[in-house]
Amino acid sequence: MKKNKSVLLSAPYILWMVIFTLIPLCVVLYYALTDVETGAFSVKNMENLVLYLPAFWRSILYSLVSALICLVIGYPVAYYMAHCSPTAQKFLYMLVMLPMCMSFLLRTLAWVGLLQDTGIINNFLDMLGLPRLSLIRTPGAVILGMVYNYLPYMILPLYSIIVKIDHRLIEAAEDLGCNGVQVFARVVLPLSMPGILSGITMVFVPAVSTFYISNKLGSTDIVLIGDIIERQFKQGDNANMGAALSLLLMILVFVCTGIMNRFGGDEEGGVPV
Amino acid sequence: MKKYICLLLTVLLLAGLCGCDTADDRVTINVYNWGQYISEGDDGCIDVIALFEERYPNIRVNYVTFDSNETMYTKMAGGGITVDVIIPSDYMVGRLIEENMLLELDYNNIPNAQYIDSRFRNTDYDPENKYSIPYTWGTVGIIYNSNYVDEEDVTGWELLWNEKYADKILMFDNSRDAFGIAQNLLGYSINSTDPEELKACAEKLAEQRPVVQQYIMDQVFDLMENEEAWIAPYYAGDYLTMAEENEALCFYLPEDQGFNLFIDAMCIPTCAENKEAAETFINFLCEPEIAGGNMDWVCYGTPLTAAKEFMDPEVVNDPVSYPSEETLDRGTGYISLPRSTTRLMEELFMQVRNGIPVHLP
């Protein structure tokens, strides 16, 4: 009886999933496997994917680097937040969330205004009599854009895990003669592993498929897979190739997160709680 | 208490949603046009849409913009939208006619069509003027910033490939205009259907990619005015708009190479719901006084000689807007290409943009 009720309650969401996730996925698959001209079954799109592999690797590389930088920047912030007074925690939490209240496109455009050759930073340097720098349209600018936009997705899961770490475990470690570094490396870090993994996933997944950041902050040679997919649909009038690319991207994301989760599972198993 | 406030706000929100349609019995027409392509009351110019709604209080205009013919086409071909008036370019009008996506115009509702100059009637893309009425015309040339670009480098389309100005060059983000430039540079016809010629153009465009700062359409205004970029191919009318903001900008039409001479025309697509209101709108835009006031801001060429007397004489006498007859003779119009050629061109352009090796599919 109770089981029936829970099925009934989850029905709306399951229905939603079927209509808006499962069926569209089938449509993507159908498009990927048909020819753009004739609509007949064809593996041509799949074969052509090989040509786009460099863009895939580039996207994965850029988003992994961004995720790692987010971790390096985000971990100390999350750690500090978790050890503040409850009022300060609330305030800091809000500060981290605040940029997310503004449109992602607008925030990226703001970086264009800052970084471009005639932008705020360069005009300021010029005013001081310093030489102008080429900041925009470099790999660094793209990674900066990704880190800036996705940093909150790293900090928040880290914070929510670190704040729950039982302080008595740290005290116990100290009592048993661990120094600060050892406490961190042997107790705090292993315990915050689930947060680190979900943070990396939360940054990596949107970054790998992003299409606006690289377009605005990157050069014409830094073409990421998200840009390509967007262009196939919007400009190229070739939804079939776009579908094939999306499919491959989805599989790659699944594989990447799968690897991370497995690695995470082992770690978690090794932590005695 | 909080709960009740929430409830009250929700109810108000829903009431607002219901209220929209009932309070308004006006007919709405959806107009789909290029960006920055109608006078909206800035810089002391007329506000075309406001004037229209004032004269025809029972028609409301919902104005939406696109940034290239291809984007517009993709959206229209995708279906599921209602658009009453579109203003695509010549070759796209031709393509839409071929694909039966346009409705025949009823000239009884567009008496002002009589003012259209004979030069702009019976065009290649719409020989019997059944489906379209010209809105503007113009040329595609090179806009450059004379503070940074040496005059001696300004010799023709090859300027857009000049490594000296790497990262300061902009390029069209639509296949037809980008290929048109490569074709003019290589001396091919801009209406070529030869796959080998198109491939050679794509290779030329791929060669250009490293020096291109960005592929753009309407962003050209900001980038050129602020001197973030120094060289860009674009439409002559838009050059005049930019030159008002930055006096260092110059316009150049290659002297011994071809260039594109285009016409943008008003049409009613098959997905229109209010054909008569759409025709009223087109008729309004052909009224000499309105067209003149509109072109004062848009700065493109008007196909209505009668409109010129209502325009700023400075614009009418500007050789960039209205080049001499012999200059115009060097220009060529795009015609609608076979579907397979358009598809190939888009495919090749995607290869250039996506940085994958150029190859014929």
Q: What is the mean pLDDT of residues A53-64?
A: 94
Rounded Cα gap, residues B221 and B228, in angstroms: 10
Q: What's the pLDDT at B56?
A: 94
DSSP string, chain A: -HHHHHHHHHHHHHHHHIIIIIHHHHHHHHHHTB-TTT--B-SHHHHHGGGGHHHHHHHHHHHHHHHHHHHHHHHHHHHHHHTS-HHHHHHHHHHHHGGGGS-HHHHHHHHHHHHSTTSHHHHHHHHTTPPP---SSSHHHHHHHHHHHHHHHHHHHHHHHHTTS-HHHHHHHHHTT--HHHHIIIIIHHHTHHHHHHHHHHHHHHHHT--SHHHHHS-TT---HHHHHHHHHHTS--HHHHHHHHHHHHHHHHHHHHHHHHHHHHHHHHS--
Domains of chain A (ranges; CATH) run: 53-270 (1.10.3720.10)
* Cβ contact A236–B346 (<8 Å): yes
* Cβ contact A51–B357 (<8 Å): yes
Report whether CATH 3.30.1490.20 matches the domain B26-137+262-332: no
Q: Enumerate residues 217 to 246 of chain B having a beta carbon within 8 A of any beta carbon in chain A.
A: 226-228
Summarize pLDDT for A143-159 with one digit per residue, the tens.
999 999 999 999 999 99
Per the structure block, which two tokens stand in for B272? 């229109």
Q: What's the pLDDT at B314?
A: 85
Which residues, including other chains, have CB under 8 Å from residue B239's CB and lie 6 or more apart? B141, B143, B249, B251, B299, B320
Half-sphere exposure of B261 (CA within 13 A, CB side): 21
> What residues does each domain of chain B span?
26-137+262-332, 138-261
Contacts of A235 in chain B (CB under 8 A): 68, 70-71, 74, 173-175, 346, 350
Q: What's the pLDDT at A238?
A: 85
What CATH superfamily classification does B138-261 receive? Answer: Periplasmic binding protein-like II (3.40.190.10)
Q: What's the pLDDT at A271?
A: 37
Ranges of residues in chain B whose predicted pLDDT is under 50: 19-23
Confidence of residue A89 (pLDDT cuts 50, 70, 90): very high
Summarize pLDDT for B141-156 with one digit per residue, the tens.
999 999 999 999 999 9
Provide the number of CB pairs (under 8 Å) joining chain A to chain B: 65
Q: What's the pLDDT at A264?
A: 63
Which long-range contacts does A80-85 make (Cβ < 8 Å, 24+ apart)? Answer: A81/A155, A81/A159, A81/A162, A81/A163, A82/A159, A82/A162, A82/A163, A82/A165
Among chain B residues, CA nearest to A122: B228
- Helix A86-97 to helix A139-162 angle (10° resolution) is 150
Residue B129 burial (CB count, 10 A)? 17
Summarize pLDDT for A205-260 with one digit per residue, the tens.
999 999 899 999 999 999 999 999 999 888 877 889 999 999 999 998 888 888 87
Which residues, including other chains, have CB under 8 Å from residue A171's CB and lie 6 or more apart? none
ipTM of the assembly?
0.86
Summarize pLDDT for A96-122 with one digit per residue, the tens.
999 888 999 999 999 999 999 999 999
Q: What's the pLDDT at B258?
A: 93
